[in-house]
Amino acid sequence: MRFVLVPLALVALAGCQPRDPDGRAADAPAGAKPAAATAMDISQPLTARGNEPFWALTITDGAKFRLQRPDHPDVTAEAPGAAMSPHATTWVAKGAKGEQLTVTLRPGECSDGMSDLKYPMSAEVVLLHESLYGCAAKTAELPREGG
């Protein structure tokens, strides 16, 4: 139900935008800052990464996950969907062996702490009783050193 209500609420709010007399959207007041994004785009493949311990997570099709860590077997999981809010997107996925993988992405600049690359999202991955923290971006837009 929540998955339907968020888009409907956004459509409803779009009708509340100030309008000029001719029906066009009114210009923002001088000095106004753009509003924060209300939801993340999860339609494209995403990658999250973390250091100490090193790990990488890929998200495809908005609900399929692959967690890779040195000295650990890869974990693949799938979620029925994502819970989205203006401040986070969270998936609760199940792996092939029944293990639960909870992934939360939050909008906002994130630095990986080692290379000082800037990512547009922070990431938290919880597998069993272990929490992994890092940064995330659309896979096609991952920051790269020197460019």
Per-residue pLDDT of the chain (147 residues; tens, 9 = 90+): 444 333 433 333 333 334 344 444 444 333 333 334 445 777 899 999 999 889 999 999 999 999 999 999 999 999 999 999 999 999 999 998 899 999 999 999 999 777 889 999 999 999 988 999 999 999 999 988 765
Per-residue model confidence (pLDDT) at position 3: 43
List Cβ neighbours of 68 (8 Å cut-off, separation of 6 or more).
55, 56, 57, 74
> Residue 48: in which H helix or E strand, if any?
strand 46-50
Q: What is the DSSP letter of 7?
A: H
